[in-house]
A and B are shown apart, each in its own frame.
Chain A
Amino acid sequence: MTATATPVRRQLHLPPVAPSPFPYNPGSLLSVQDLTLEGISQLLSRATVLEAMDPLERDRILLKRRIALLFYESSTRTRTSFELAAKSLGADTTLVSSLSSSIEKGETLKDTGLTLRALGAEAIILRHNSSGAPWLLEAETRLPVLNAGDGMHEHPTQALLDLRTMLQHLRPGVDTVATDTLAGVTVTIVGDILHSRVARSNMLLLPRLGARVILCGPAQFLPEAAANAGPGITVERDFEAALRASQVVMMLRIQAERLAGMQIDLEQYKTAYQLTGQRLAEHAAQAVVLHPGPIIRGLELTAGVADGPQSAILEQVKNGVAIRMAVVERALTAQKQGGRA
């Protein structure tokens, strides 16, 4: 009914939507949309430079600067790679996690942020189970906030490390990007799109570089509205058809912790959407297989695919450290100016 609302007879002049004040701090990375293509290119090339740098020289870049990691959700890859990235630039890091802090006693995100700032934190890396939490933290603290994954919303550093991995395979040697860098490339993201912040960040980033993004999964995990999230995004329910069109296949985990009562028939799901060696060989024999982790072997993909020659899953993990070095460096060195996309 909504779509067929009574057409309005009059030409309506309506109140405008106010422009976003975010990000308040030029060092913040809240969303992939905060970055211009030039900003992305800078991060990619800094990642390459920093990765190759002598560790003792690199150590001086942020020597003794203070960075807090604030984690409301468990994490292996993201937390460790942010921590290693900050430390390899010489920064001091401290980890606050929801289970061993005053958050358990009811302290709010605002108060936790203000406390970290008072303790001398110059930037906060936030992982949070609520979508939008980094925006709240940035508005309240005005510190550089790095979004390390918020609810079902965004995970911008994951999208950047995925991009770096794709470029290494499809555009070797390229670390500056433009609107046609990924022209002709189709990236299929498969599975629990609805609950995936990785999917959202990738689908908003990749089309800006010329890639086509196919979202693939059952209706429960992939509402039709997803195709309207941005340009260059299409929905395809048939996994094998999507595979045949793809140079990159990104598999996602079913996010059991976010299902909110949703009932899933796992056998049916695997039949339709599991990436098996046979499917890959038949329909996408050249494609690069990505997965943001954690992987559940035998569910969204088989062990053979995860460990197989087309898998770049561990390269993604390695790229995570390089990208996060560049993002952390930017957080503490970015200058106030029109840095928005």
Chain B
Amino acid sequence: MTALVIRGGHLIDPGAGVDAPKDIFLKDGRVAEVAAPGKLKGTNGAEVVDAAGLTVAPGLIDIHVHLREPGQGYKETIASGTAAAAAGGFTSVAAMPNTVPVNDSPEVTRWMLAPERGAKVRVYPIAAATRGSKGETLNDFAALKAAGAVAVTDDGHPILKDGVMRETLAAAARVGLSVIQHAEDTRMTQGASMNAGPMAFKLGLRGMPAEAESSLVERDIRLVTELRDARVHLHVAHTSTAAAVAAVRQARRNGLRVTCEVAPHHFLLTDEHVGFYNTNAKMNPPLRSAADRDAMIEAILDGVVDAIATDHAPHATHEKEVEFENAPNGITGLETALGLCLRWLHKEWKLPLGRVLSLLSAQPAALLGLKGRGTLAVGSFADVVIFDPKAEWTYSAKETRSKSHNTPFDGWTMQGKVRWTISEGRIAYVSQ
């Protein structure tokens, strides 16, 4: 294995409580030593990365991405999706199971983890909770965990039946897995393609009410309460409504293990950004009202939100060049997350840099129990992002490493340019 020295940078490692100039020695895929500038010992022959003037932080972790393999390689592959991840500063991504076939088996999970997939950064498969994500029969969680799955979810096919969801929570807890729920009561969103409200009425589109999200979050929290088992962990994916965040906040006050993530588009955009049927502003959950968007910002600032996750959902251009109602849900997000978080959460809304980075690394690692990730403490995986915190740049979707270009952030000004991304000691990305 190669050895790398990162010299002259400013280390921010919120998990280890470090915010100081440090040099770092990476060896055999792990962090071998962290020392004051010029004080590293025994680094002879190591390649040197000059991080003068740059911020060094644990590699970012995105716990909600769609890598589209197996089955939909025309949208994205594990290789292209992880290349985009590396370009965005991410060194670990958790891949959702809505592949073709659905990742509901140890075979698919292992297939995704095989070296032949060409992953540039670490992939953590999240397995389907039920067979075929049909919400009826539970999968073998112990076998999925043994194959490498880090959580279970039916993602875009939320588990509506109380009994099935209760059993999913209990069974996952028994083997130490988290349950992630895409909270949407799909009985309330039939035929709907954007947020319900004045904008949907104006555009003549059927709307998804905020209650479709919040009522399922409330139902799930009730099930967690009833189970009375401290091992049960419910994670609410891509929270988008004030009411859902309020429910999570209350559950936490009640001592429950309920966590949530928010996607950059939900703390930046509103349903007004749909404009005249921009299919790159169509995703599920949809862009919500200004009040909901403001509640996402507030929940991030006041600490209720545990992670920023992108819900990176690539789709081919031809799939998005259709009538709004017929377009698939989802936008890409891996390359824009850090730039948007630094530009808006940090620079604009004054969230300290350490907390921004924690939401993108230490907290998501803790949430899914990803051992040795999310920190650069000695012995941890050598997953590092090195970025210029002051650099402003403009995102261009056509230069993406993803196979797809479906982003509403094309042409947006970002802050904080990634210079190097190092995954388990190997350089996974270097900026031009």
Interface residues of A, Cβ cutoff 8 Å to B: 1-6, 8-10, 12-15, 17-18, 20, 22, 30, 108-110, 128, 130-133, 135-136, 140, 150-154, 194, 197, 200, 223, 225-226, 228-230, 260-261
Residue among B206, B241, B243, B299 with most chain A CB within 10 A:
B206
A135 touches B210 (CB 8 A): no
Give the complex CA separation of A230 and B202 in angstroms: 9
Can you list 18 A-B contacts (CB < 8 A)? A1-B214, A2-B241, A15-B268, A17-B272, A17-B273, A108-B322, A110-B322, A131-B205, A131-B325, A132-B204, A135-B277, A136-B323, A140-B321, A151-B204, A152-B204, A200-B202, A228-B201, A260-B190
Chain A residues with CB under 8 A of B214: 1
Please pick, from B201, B268, B289, the residue contacting A2 in the complex, using a CB distance under 8 A. Answer: B289
Q: Which of B202, B203, B206, B348 has the most chain A CB within a 10 Å cutoff?
A: B202
- Contacting residues, chain A, for B246 (C-beta < 8 A): 1, 6
> A150–B243 contact, CB under 8 A?
no
Query: Pick the contact of B190 from A22, A110, A128, A261 — CB < 8 Å?
Result: A261
Given A1-B242, A6-B298, are A132 and B276 neighbors across the interface (CB < 8 Å)? Answer: yes
Contact status B276-A1, CB under 8 Å: no
A227: nearest chain-B partner, CB-CB: B198
Alpha-carbon distance between A235 and B273 when the two chains are bound, in angstroms: 27
Contact between B292 and A22 (Cβ–Cβ < 8 Å)? no
Q: Which residues of B (43-78) have their CB < 8 Å from a CB of A?
A: none
Judge whether B291 and A5 touch: CB under 8 Å. Answer: yes
Q: Is B156 an interface residue (CB 8 A)?
A: no
CB of B213 to closest CB in A, whole Å: 10
Nearest 10 Cβ contacts at the A-B interface: A153-B204, A132-B277, A1-B243, A152-B204, A5-B242, A130-B323, A131-B204, A5-B291, A228-B198, A5-B295
Residues of A within 8 A of B272 (CB): 17
B292 touches A5 (CB 8 A): yes
A-facing residues in B171-218 (Cβ within 8 Å): 190-191, 196-198, 200-206, 210-211, 214
Q: How far is the CB of A226 from chain B (nearest CB, A)?
A: 6
A154 and B204 CA atoms in complex are apart in Å by 8
Q: Chain A binding site: helix, strand, loop or mixed by DSSP?
A: loop
CB of B294 closer than 8 Å to a CB of A: yes
Q: Using known A-B contacts A2-B242, A2-B243, A17-B272, determine if residue A200 contacts B204 with beta carbons closer than 8 Å.
A: yes
A29 to chain B, nearest CB (A): 14
Chain B residues with CB below 8 A from A5, complex form: 242, 291-292, 294-295
- Whether A10 contacts B349 in the complex (CB less than 8 A), given A1-B214, A108-B322, comes out as yes
Beyond A1-B241, A15-B344, whether A131 also contacts B298 by CB under 8 A is: no
B residues whose Cβ falls under 8 Å from a Cβ of A: 190-191, 196-198, 200-206, 210-211, 214, 241-243, 246, 268-269, 272-273, 275-277, 288-289, 291-292, 294-295, 297-299, 301, 318, 321-326, 344, 348-350, 412
Given the known A-B contacts A2-B242, A8-B297, A13-B348, are A20 and B275 also in contact in the complex, defined by CB atoms under 8 Å?
Answer: yes
Partner of B321, one of A2, A136, A194: A136
Least Cβ distance of A31 to chain B in Å?
A: 9
With A130-B326, A132-B277 as known contacts, state yes or no: A260 contacts B206, CB within 8 Å: yes
Chain B positions within 8 Å of A230 at CB level: 202
| CB-contact partner of B203 in A2, A128, A132, under 8 A | A132
Task: Give the secondary structure class of B's interface.
Answer: helix
Name which residue of chain B comes closest to A151, CB basis.
B204
Interface centre among A108, A132, A197, A228 (most CB of B within 10 A): A132
Return the chain B residue nearest A153 by Cβ.
B204
**A contact residues around B204 at 8 Å (CB):** 131-132, 150-154, 197, 200
Greatest chain A CB density within 10 A among B191, B272, B321 is at B321
Q: Give the nearest-CB partner of A138 in chain B.
A: B276
Determine which of A10, A109, A226, A261 lies in contact with B323 in the assembled complex, contact meaning CB atoms within 8 Å: A109
Identity of the chain B residue whose Cβ is nearest the Cβ of A13 in the assembled complex: B348
B219 to chain A, nearest CB (A): 15
Taking CB atoms, residues of chain A closer than 8 Å to B268 are 14-15
Cβ of B409 to closest chain A Cβ, rounded Å:
9
- CA of A14 to CA of B210 in the docked complex: distance in angstroms? 22
Residue of A nearest to B409 (CB): A15
- Residue contact B325 to A18, C-beta cutoff 8 Å: no
Residues of B with C-beta under 8 A to A151: 204-205, 325
Complex interface: chain B residues within 8 A of A12 (CB): 294, 297, 348-349
B291 touches A130 (CB 8 A): no
B197 surroundings in chain A (CB, below 8 A):
225
Distance of A108 Cα from B319 Cα, bound (Å): 10
Determine whether the beta carbon of B294 is less than 8 Å from that of A8.
Answer: yes
Other-chain residue from B190, B198, B210, B298 in contact with A225 (beta carbon distance below 8 A): B198
Whether A229 lies near B198 (C-beta < 8 A) is yes
Instruction: Identify 16 new A-B residue pairs, CB closer than 8 A, beyond the known A5-B294, A132-B277.
Output: A1-B210, A1-B242, A2-B241, A2-B291, A5-B291, A5-B295, A8-B297, A20-B275, A108-B321, A132-B204, A136-B321, A151-B205, A225-B200, A229-B198, A229-B201, A230-B202
Residues of chain B lying within 8 A (CB to CB) of residue A153: 203-205
Contacts of B205 in A (CB 8 A): 131-132, 151-153
Point out the residue from A22, A132, A197, A226 that lies within 8 Å of B324, measured CB to CB. Answer: A132
Q: How far is the CA of A21 from the CA of B17 in the complex (A)?
A: 48
Hey, which chain B residues are within 8 Å of A200, CB to CB?
202, 204
Residues on A with C-beta less than 8 A from B269 are 15
Q: How far is the CB of A10 from chain B (nearest CB, A)?
A: 6
Which B residue sits closest to A10, measured CB to CB? B349
The contact of B292 among A2, A194, A197, A261, by CB within 8 Å, is: A2
The answer for the CA separation of A226 and B207 in the assembled complex, in Å, is 13
